[in-house]
Copies of this chain bind each other. A is one copy, B any other.
Amino acid sequence: MPSQPFHGVLVPVLTPFTPRGEPDSRRFVAFCRWLLDQGAGGLAIFGTTSEANSMSASERMALLDALIEAGIPAEKLMPGVGACSMTEAAGLATHAVGHGCGGVLTLPPFYYKGVPDDGIFAFVSSVVDRVGSPALRIYLYHIPPVAQVGYSLDLVGRLIKAHPQTVIGLKDSSGDWSNTAALLDRYPGFAVFPGSEVFLLDALRKGGAGCITASGNVNVPGIRKLYENWRGPQADALQADVTALRKALQAYPMVPALKRIVAHFHNDPDWAAVRPPMLPLDAAQSSALLADLAELGFTLGERPRSRAA
């Protein structure tokens, strides 16, 4: 097994948009830096929470270029290269490898449904071949509730066997703990990240690498505290804390809710903008969300003043 470049609390970073709907690289760079300052173990930019699939390939590449130019360490970045076509996925992965990114998060092709495992295997293998670099590190992105197409347990094993130096981990956003547990049991040394901190303690107890979680956008410190103390006597209480916040967030459409929180606590209303087909929270939802968070005593760490706009 190759060495593992990522562990801990990874964040699928929200993507800010300007009032005209364009990706906002200035806010994006500042937010990524803030997440790393808070202790994020890596930034899984361009995931589902990032509205990556609401951006073109060139928009995603321009944002990655901006992060690198701003000095965000490439080895901390795990950009999503999800695309329905192997050519676009390979193009995005080649761009990420060129920047020295620690890894890439790879959706299965998600337009056609009911496709055979052999077809998904051929897709990933084509991406590996087209990138053609020993520096490529693929994390499989398993999120059947959204993509509707996923990586079966057997397919994961076939991909590891075919590409042992390349396919080195998986984000499991199935929401199905039994699937995460089975991955951890069957593929020791393979980096498995549950897609929610709700499963973090259970995963760590079975050898999991950490988690990659949307709520990391607003709760790196809390989740990191659990990650660092999972063997200690407070572990279950820390898990209960992060789970309570997660459950509160899940009562709302996740991406608009997270953006609303950043907009509110960083006093930056433009942060609430989302791209179609998502919609921002309406006023009533926003008030209810903030009230729910107040009840939990939640507050968001301020952005460092020296780095504010």
Contact = CB atoms under 8 A, between A and B. Distances in A.
A129 to B, nearest CB: 10
A152 interface: no
A68 interface: no
Nearest to A121: B276
A54 B277 contact: no
A54 B275 contact: no
A188 to B, nearest CB: 28
B56 A115 contact: no
A145 B87 contact: no
A277 B120 CA distance: 5
Contacts of A145: 113
A75 interface: no
Contact of A122 (B108, B118, B119, B279): B279
The 8 closest A-B pairs by CB, nearest first: A119-B277, A53-B111, A123-B276, A122-B276, A115-B277, A53-B84, A56-B88, A56-B87
Given A56-B85, A86-B275, A126-B276, 15 more contacts: A54-B109, A54-B112, A56-B57, A56-B91, A59-B85, A85-B275, A108-B277, A112-B278, A113-B145, A118-B279, A119-B277, A122-B277, A122-B279, A123-B276, A149-B277
